[in-house]
Amino acid sequence: MPDDEPLVRWDWIGDHLGYLGGLTLDHAVMSLVPVLIGLLLALPLGLVCARFPRLYQPLAVVFNTLYALPALAVFMLLLPYTGPGNLSTVMIPLTFYALALLLPTTVEGIRSTPESVRQAAVALGYGPWRRLAAVELPSSVPYLVAGLRVAAVSSISMAAIGALIGRGALGYLFIDGFQRTFTTPILAGIVLVVALALLVDLVLVLARRVLAPWAIREQGAAL
| Alpha-carbon Rg for the chain in angstroms | 21
**Integer Cα distance of 143 and 172 in angstroms:** 34
Q: Any idea which architecture 16-222 has in CATH?
A: Orthogonal Bundle (1.10)
Number of continuous H segments (helices) and E segments (strands) in the chain: 12, 0
- Whole-model pTM: value is 0.85
What's residue 221's pLDDT? 44
Q: Along the chain (223 residues), what's the average pLDDT of each consecutive run of 10 residues?
A: 70 90 93 95 89 87 86 83 79 92 90 74 71 74 92 92 80 88 91 96 92 60 42
> pLDDT value at position 1?
54
How far apart CA 46 and CA 69 sit, in angstroms, is: 22
In this predicted structure, what is the pLDDT of residue 4?
63
CA distance 126 to 118: 9
What pLDDT score was predicted for residue 185?
A: 92
Give the residue extent of every domain in the chain: 16-222
Residues 105, 101: Cα–Cα separation, whole Å: 7
Q: Measure the CA–CA gap between 178 and 166, rounded to whole angstroms.
A: 16
